Structure 1
Amino acid sequence: MARRETAQDGAQARLRELIAAELRPGDRLPNERELAARLAVSRATMREAIGALVAAGEVLRTWGVGTFVREPPAGVPVSLGEVIALRDKISATGHRPALHDASVGRVPCPDDCAEALGCPPGAPMWRVDRLFAVDGVPAAWIRDHLPLSVAGRDLDPSSLVSIEVDLLEFLARVTGVPVRRTDIDMAAVLAEGDAVDRLAVPAGHPLMSAVQLGVGEGNLPLFHGHILVRTDVLTLRITRRG
């Protein structure tokens, strides 16, 4: 089922259209009141829309001076500092996320997943394999492993073959245990094997590899995943908050 567009989503989209049509990098945006009037939204909604563009790195706000259009980044910026669906992180930058390929099935638990999830090696578990694209270009290959049940509730992740269903949202809805944090270890690697075909890159193309563990309340492990990212398409940003 498609997600309903919120007032903020609509305001963000129209604000991006206005910026693209009338402004260039370095130009200052009209003030909040004027933008709200032009786009026929409340000032509160416009404030949230501008804040989303600031968070996405598309505009720069200088208090007491104004908000300015920033130079577009080389790739789509994706923050690793918040537990938010990759789909929504991409959408927030004004780009179009899609699933080029996705599959779900039961497999024997790999050794590294067994250690992370506290399962016996070789025990049956779910594998969710998804290839995310940005504006039609393969960008991230994610292979997640999940236990067959969490908190006494059986899992059926077959709905995750749709871009409209996110792993974090799925776990919170089905198990009642939301993902509170993801621990991520990253390394730079060169494309080889299946990654060459999946991500449509030549052998030896630089990629970012990541291993992540999703954790719920009480340090309950919920999923373990392997990620390969084309950094020429997705720019990874780490945000630290004091």
Structure 2
Amino acid sequence: MRRDSAAQSALLRLRHLIASEFSPGDRLPPEKDLAEALDVSRTTVREALVVLAAEDIVTRQWGSGTFVNAPPKVASLNMSTIESYRDRVATGGRAVTLLEASCDLVTPPAGAALALQLEGGAKAWHIRRLFAVDGSPSALMSEVVPAQLFGRPIDPSPMLRIETSLYDLLNQHAPGSAVHASTELEAVCVHGPDARALDLTDGAPVLQATQTTFERRGQPVAHGVSLQRTDLVRMRITR
């Protein structure tokens, strides 16, 4: 766990370094210099550069070095770690904003109740958020969280602000509440209010992600469905 955390921290700092101090076409310093600047091992820097190359942020040329690429026209959504949508997209230099947000105490849909192992009649918070990338509606997210978690009522109102992600909310409620997520991806057509919210024509294709979040012992703590425009954000799974 500590090794993974150190590697992810180095990757995030290297992303920031590239975005703030280098331009497209620039050659990065040698791995040894980057390791000293980030206070990590050369192996950790090399692993981070492999991830960035897979994301098309840099290009590695044998014998010549590592060069910074121009930002792609479509934002990249890396699914290799458990992070918020905002943080995943923003690491590529895109502006992520929250256009709409609401939370209501409801009887959860049958699928969500089953995924969360809720007993009949149990209430849950339904949190709906519409995100934009560079000003264009890009993702519509619908999350269901139990009204009570670990014997205490949970307050979903912080998620009405972009600064708080689902993972932040859960871990602030109880440390270690969000450590693992299982996601199923499916191509679907969007209709009605959902299509209008995403500024799409009725029947347009989107990527649907159905995700259940678990705490450290394996208990499900949140279940959600997101609809994402693939013409604005490209999902990438790096292993």
Q: TM range, normalised to the smaller chain?
A: 0.7 to 0.9
Change (3 A) 1:204 1:45: farther
Alignment of 1:116-127 (within 5 A): 116-127=115-126
Instruction: State the match for 2:4 in structure 1.
Output: none
Q: Which amino acid aligns with 2:87?
A: D
Match of residue 3 from structure 1: none
Aligned to 2:27: 29
Question: SS of 1:217's equivalent?
Answer: coil
**1:16 counterpart (19, 25, 30):** 19
Structure 1 residues 9 and 30 mapped into 2: Cα distance closer, same or farther (>3 Å)? closer
Q: Does 1:77 align with 2:39?
A: no
Quick one: structure 1 residues 18 and 129, their matched pair in 2 at CA, closer, same or farther if it must change by over 3 Å? same
Change (3 A) 1:115 1:49: same
Please state how far the C-alpha of 1:221 moved relative to its aligned partner. Answer: 0.3
The verdict on how the C-alpha distance between 1:208 and 1:11 changes in structure 2, with shifts beyond 3 A counting, is closer
1:214 aligns with 2:178: no
User: Match of 2:208, SS?
Assistant: strand
Q: How far does residue 123 in structure 1 lie from its aligned partner after superposition? A: 2.6
Which amino acid is the alignment partner of residue 178 of structure 1? S
CA apart distance, 1:144: 0.2
Tell me: CA distance 1:165–1:68, structure 2 relative to 1, closer, same or farther (3 Å).
same
**5+ residue gaps in structure 1?**
1-5, 37-41
Aligned pair count reads 225
**Residue 38 of structure 2: aligned partner:** 44
Q: In 2 relative to 1, CA 82–17 (structure 1 residues): closer, same or farther, beyond 3 Å?
A: closer
Once the two structures are superposed, what CA deviation does each residue of 1:164-185 show, in whole Å capped at 9, x if it has no partner? 1111011011122331211111
Q: Distance in 2 between matches of 1:9 and 1:78?
A: 14
State the alpha-carbon separation in 2 of the partners of residues 130 and 176 from structure 1.
24
Letter in 2 for 1:70: N
Give the TM-score taking structure 1 as reference length: 0.80
Corresponding residue of 2:3: none
Q: Is the 8 A contact 2:28 2:67 kept in 1?
A: no
Question: Contact between 1:153 and 1:175, CA under 8 Å: does it hold in 2?
Answer: no
